[in-house]
Amino acid sequence: MPLKVTGPLRSFFGWAGNLLYPADCRICESPLHTLTRVPVCDACLASSHPFEAEIFCVQCRTPFVNRSPLDENGCCTLCRLGARGFDAAYCAGEYEGALRKLIHLFKYGGVYSLERELVNRLSDALPRDQRFDLVAPMPMHWLRRLSRGRNHAEILARGLAKRTGIPYQDAAYRRKSTPPQSRVSRAERRRNVRGAFGVKWPETVRGKRILLVDDVLTTGSTAGACAAALKKAGAAHVAVITIARVDRRAWIEPTEKARGRAATA
């Protein structure tokens, strides 16, 4: 529970508070009135854009602007061809607004106290009717990990494992360091990550239902390649869970997406 600090008490404790966090919310810059572990106001913490669409693939939950990529069962082409890699994808919200900024604060801003908040989001996104045997992080190449100092996916996966009681296992590893994926096309992404992942102890994943944890899902190529390696090693089911997901309809058809939103409002 946050400690309420108002009036003279706020200025009295101000210096101590400033040692712990800045006086303003790091997202909307409004003054913080409570001593909390995170430098973000309650309104920003509560705000999120649910990741939702009228038309989406029943398996990978990729949203589409129209039904043409889906077959009669509601499956997209990649899932139908088995090229997606993972069996399901869950996320807490869309990668924009306050949620996007929260992830940035955690990943690049050094605000590690957001861990609990972000693990809560993952836990809420987990469907209650699904059973999993292992929680595994999206692996980072050891060279990258060395330069970054930590793998954020690993912190989140450990937190989720603790929260849910599902055993944690660092199941996969990254064979090759791939260039940053944000500025390359979908086809290039797929090429970059082909053969990039290996499984540490195949006998420990055989027949298991695995929850693969990452912070953001963009095209799904990287997560798909890792999931494919786990499945090749014998995993029965691999679901990807992320805090946020990029809605690629916004890149392709911004007007159509806006129209869809207006229709559902």
Q: Are strands 237-245 and 88-94 parallel, antiparallel or unpaired?
A: parallel
If one counts every other C-beta atom within 10 angstroms of the C-beta of residue 31, the result is 10
Which listed residue (5, 25, 126, 226) binds Zn ion by CB under 5 A?
25
Which listed residue (36, 59, 169, 222) binds Zn ion by CB under 5 A?
59
Which listed residue (32, 60, 105, 119) binds Zn ion by CB under 5 A?
60
**172 sits in which H/E element:** strand 172-174
- The one-character DSSP state at 193 is H
Q: How far is the CB of 70 from Zn ion (least distance, A)?
A: 8
Residues contacting 40, CB < 8 A, separation 6+? 25, 26, 27, 102, 105, 114, 117
Is residue 23 involved in binding Zn ion (CB under 5 A)? Answer: no
**In the window 29-48, what residues touch Zn ion (CB under 5 A)?**
41, 44
Is residue 105 involved in binding Zn ion (CB under 5 A)? Answer: no
Sign of CA dihedral 107, 85, 240, 27: positive
Contact 223, 252 (CB under 8 A): no
Which residues on adjacent β-strands are paired with residue 210? Answer: 134, 238
Q: Which stretch binds Zn ion (CB under 5 A): 55-63, 111-119, 143-151, 199-207?
A: 55-63
Is residue 28 involved in binding Zn ion (CB under 5 A)? Answer: yes
Which residues on adjacent β-strands are paired with residue 198? Answer: 173
Which listed residue (53, 76, 92, 216) binds Zn ion by CB under 5 A?
76
Is residue 57 involved in binding Zn ion (CB under 5 A)? Answer: yes
Q: How far is the CB of 79 from Zn ion (least distance, A)?
A: 3
Token couple for 163: 């929260």
**239 sits in which H/E element:** strand 237-245
Q: How far is the CB of 150 from Zn ion (least distance, A)?
A: 25
Which listed residue (5, 32, 65, 79) binds Zn ion by CB under 5 A?
79
Q: Which stretch binds Zn ion (CB under 5 A): 25-33, 156-164, 167-175, 251-259?
A: 25-33
Contact 243, 121 (CB under 8 A): yes
**In the window 175-214, what residues touch Zn ion (CB under 5 A)?**
none
Q: Which one, 159 or 224, has the nearer CB to Zn ion?
A: 224
Q: Which stretch binds Zn ion (CB under 5 A): 22-30, 47-55, 158-166, 214-222?
A: 22-30
- d(CA 120, CA 129) in angstroms, rounded, equals 18
Which residues of the shown chain bind Zn ion in the complex (CB under 5 A)? 25, 27-28, 41, 44, 57, 59-60, 76, 79
